[in-house]
Amino acid sequence: MTGVKAIVYRRYGGPEVLEVADIPEPKVGPDSVLVRVAASSVNPVDWKMREGYLDGAIDVFFPVVPGWDVAGTVEATGPAVPEFSPGDEVIGYVRKDVVKGGTFAEKVAAPVRTLARKPRNLSWAQAASLPLVGLTAYQALHHALKIGPEDTVLVHAAAGGVGSVAVQLARAAGARVIGTASERNHDYLRSLGAEPVTYGDGLVERVQAIGAPTASLDLVGGEALISTYDLGVPASRVASIVDASVAERGGAYVFVRPDRADLTALVDLVEAGKLTVDVAETYPLERAADAHRRSEEGHVRGKIAVEVMPS
Ligand SMILES: NC(=O)c1ccc[n+]([C@@H]2O[C@H](COP(=O)([O-])OP(=O)(O)OC[C@H]3O[C@@H](n4cnc5c(N)ncnc54)[C@H](OP(=O)(O)O)[C@@H]3O)[C@@H](O)[C@H]2O)c1
């Protein structure tokens, strides 16, 4: 049996349940692409899944290979896949219908709907850091909120993975952006084109002092979402990716989904120089547990990448 190196967990738990293992090489189904993985990245959903928080929402089969983001090279394609050929460099948000064969492995079988070509001007680590956060921000801002140049968009948690991309996408759409972050990230937010404000007590007054948001993307929930309503943003122009209560007031609860067209739109923006991805730290595959721990601290600027087999 040909095996590939992967990170697996055999039960729910803390970062210590992650271990290096040899797994069988994934089979390439009819609609799938076998990708030789150069890099992946960490998203908070990875450790939420590992802890078992999503057990009621999605079927999980142990041992699980974690990870939904990928950048790599096509090794083989299924018989129903004319879109790609061996040797193509691709990126993807490889969320499947069940949780089992993720991207923290030397090879992954990715449904073709999850993939797009790799942006030419990004490193492997950057490219692997784009799909999940990029699609989330794109689908929230363009599909749910339909933002435009007339908008002032308030982004809560603007310095993180989703937030840093959301700021750039909103700016590329011509909007003004006010972003929340701790003081140490204010210069970073300015560099992305946002006007920074510190989150926490007094947020409403601090935002009011500089502008009147017409739309908001909430990446925090709870008090941050309530402050958005206190600022007078119409409920129909509020999207949250963490707080489903937003829908009860007429806003949009957004859960990111794989979409080739949206991912290709992001690639085009990257290649046009309007969007980039900031990788704060890169870990080798063997240190996946440390990468999860770092993400769980909740204060990463940009993204955490995981190198698998960079060429
Ligand atoms: N529904 C979906 O489809 C979907 C998709 C992607 C992500 N998510 C969820 O969305 C959340 C954000 O994801 P992410 O990838 O952007 O996470 P992340 O990269 O881990 O976010 C880290 C950032 O959050 C900031 N932050 C922490 N507490 C904050 C607060 N109270 N107010 C404002 N900023 C705060 C930190 O800034 P400071 O260091 O300055 O504090 C840091 O830059 C996670 O809960 C994730 O699971 C949901």
All structural domains of the chain, each given as residue ranges with its CATH number in brackets, are 3-130+277-307 (3.90.180.10), 133-253 (3.40.50.720)
3-state secondary structure of 307: strand
- CA 237 to ligand 1 center in whole angstroms: 20
Per-residue pLDDT at 310: 79
Per-residue pLDDT at 2: 79
Tokens representing residue 190 in the block:
């300015």
Per-residue pLDDT at 136: 98
221 within 8 A of 196, measured Cβ to Cβ: no
**Helix extents (H) in the chain:** 44-51, 124-129, 131-138, 161-172, 186-192, 203-208, 223-230, 260-271, 288-296
126 within 8 A of 305, measured Cβ to Cβ: yes
Tokens representing residue 3 in the block:
């095996």
Our mutation pick for probing the ligand 1 site, out of 95, 141, 182, counting the most ligand atoms within 8 A of Cβ, is 182
143 within 8 A of 251, measured Cβ to Cβ: no
Q: For ligand 1, is residue 192 a contact (CB within 6 Å)?
A: no
Per-residue pLDDT at 217: 98
In terms of DSSP bridges, do strands 69-77 and 32-42 run parallel, antiparallel, or are they unpaired? antiparallel
Q: Could you give the angle at the alpha carbon of 50 between the alpha carbons of 44 and 56, nearest 5°?
A: 95
pLDDT < 50: residue spans in the chain:
none
Q: For ligand 1, is residue 141 a contact (CB within 6 Å)?
A: no
Per-residue pLDDT at 1: 62
Report how far Cα 154 is from the mean position of its chain's Cα atoms: 19
- CA 220 to ligand 1 center in whole angstroms: 6
Closest ligand 1 atom to 133 CA:
6
Per-residue pLDDT at 219: 98
Our mutation pick for probing the ligand 1 site, out of 139, 162, 259, counting the most ligand atoms within 8 A of Cβ, is 162
Per-residue pLDDT at 131: 99
Our mutation pick for probing the ligand 1 site, out of 41, 42, 43, counting the most ligand atoms within 8 A of Cβ, is 43
Q: State pTM to two decimals.
A: 0.98
Q: SS3 string of 7-56?
A: EEECCCCCHHHCEEEEEECCCCCCCEEEEEEEEEEECHHHHHHHHCCCCC
Give the CA count within 13 Å in the CB-facing half-sphere of 200.
Answer: 4
186 within 8 A of 161, measured Cβ to Cβ: no
